[in-house]
């Protein structure tokens, strides 16, 4: 049997960084996906192939010693093999249309799709088990992850996420249109999260005040998302950008992109860790093309909408 699973990338609409410290975030799954196929093989190895390369690793290898780009997949396969006391190996193939290292959740979508695909080789997939396995896999390369990215990738739609709480779906019939602009500057999430930790240690009162303001903003944003009040959602996004600037995760390039897109959209902000990666802007559906036309002269940019489905699993023979 070949087991195939797909999972979407994500945008953080509100609350990145603050979410790591226990504040709520609003995260949306996007219509860009990773597709992973897996198959049992009759060797004692785990083979992994993606656009980043190919490898074959003995099952006895320690997870920590595996190259980072393959590590979460190896971890997932090894966990499932051990759980089911399977005597042979697994072959995993990854195809993705999510840009890598841009803050669009490529690695978490990979973890969710791989956890779903590999688990499905042995049993019916259970979404909460898949999600736990995916978050553990992501922690092999990013120990501080809040879990927000994997959660929205598994569930789809727009969710309110807070660590140690069950995620809440933000129910809306409406379609939201965003423009994503890639700064083409790779960022290192771990390094930026560590920098924010230092900011928090050095400025405890300012940080605590920012968390309170972010939480208030999120309350306002949730009701505006539910009533499809795009003006207010956009204003909240611009305000969130100011909070991120105060945390020190923006820079001149990101700010110039925000300013460029802000004037033709409802609002714009960094999405993800910052330092590089992408900017998102909320647009009107019929204005999207002209905005993209204008931006793409300078930057790689694309339209995204919210994926309502989340992870999906298929069996093929
Ligand atoms: O840039 P990304 O996609 O790795 O997003 C990081 C978001 C943070 O809030 C900074 C970290 C997290 O795990 O939520």
Query: 146-176: buried (b, 16+ CB within 10 Å) or exposed (e) per residue?
Result: bbbbbbbbbbbbbbbbbeeeebeebebeeeb
163/206 Cα distance (integer angstroms): 21
**pTM of the model as a whole:** 0.93
- What is the chain's length? 317
Residue 317 has pLDDT above 80, yes or no: no
pLDDT of residue 307: 96
CA of 193 to the centre of ligand 1 (A): 8
Structure tokens at 160: 């309110």
Structure tokens at 277: 């990666």
Mind listing the pLDDT tens digit for each residue in 2-47? Answer: 999 999 999 999 999 999 999 999 999 999 999 999 999 999 999 9
pLDDT of residue 268: 97
Q: Which atom of ligand 1 is nearest to the CA of 196?
A: 10
| Ligand 1 close to Cβ of residue 272 (< 6 A) | yes
Residue 159 has pLDDT above 90, yes or no: yes
| Ligand 1 close to Cβ of residue 277 (< 6 A) | yes
């Amino acid at each position: 049997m070949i087991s195939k699973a797909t999972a979407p990338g994500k945008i953080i609409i509100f609350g990145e960084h603050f979410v790591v410290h226990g504040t709520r975030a609003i995260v949306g799954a996007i219509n860009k996906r990773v597709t992973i196929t897996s198959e049992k093989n009759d060797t004692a190895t785990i083979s992994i192939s993606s656009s980043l390369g190919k490898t074959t690793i003995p099952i006895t290898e320690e997870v920590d010693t595996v190259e980072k780009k393959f590590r979460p997949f190896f971890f997932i396969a090894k966990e499932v093999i051990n759980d089911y006391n399977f005597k042979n190996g697994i072959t995993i193939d990854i195809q993705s249309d999510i840009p890598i290292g841009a803050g669009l959740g490529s690695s978490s979508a990979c973890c969710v799709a791989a956890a779903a695909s590999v688990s499905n080789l042995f049993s019916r997939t259970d979404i909460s088990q898949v999600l736990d396995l995916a978050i553990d896999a992501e922690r092999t390369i990013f120990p501080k992850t809040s879990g927000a990215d994997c959660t929205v990738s598994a569930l789809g739609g727009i969710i309110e996420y807070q660590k140690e709480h069950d995620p809440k779906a933000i129910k809306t019939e409406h379609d939201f249109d965003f423009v994503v602009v890639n700064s083409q500057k790779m960022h290192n999430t771990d390094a930026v999260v560590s920098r924010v930790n230092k900011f928090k240690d050095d400025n405890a009162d300012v940080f605590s005040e920012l968390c309170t303001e972010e939480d208030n903003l999120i309350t306002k944003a949730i009701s505006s998302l539910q009533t499809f009040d795009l003006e207010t959602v956009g204003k909240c996004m611009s305000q969130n950008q100011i909070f991120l600037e105060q945390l020190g995760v923006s820079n001149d390039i990101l700010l110039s992109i925000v300013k460029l897109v802000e004037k033709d959209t409802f609002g714009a902000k960094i999405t993800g860790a910052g330092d590089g990666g992408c900017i998102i802007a909320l647009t009107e559906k019929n204005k999207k093309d002209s905005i993209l036309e204008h931006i793409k002269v300078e930057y790689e940019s694309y339209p995204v909408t919210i994926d309502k489905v989340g992870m999906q699993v298929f069996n093929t023979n």
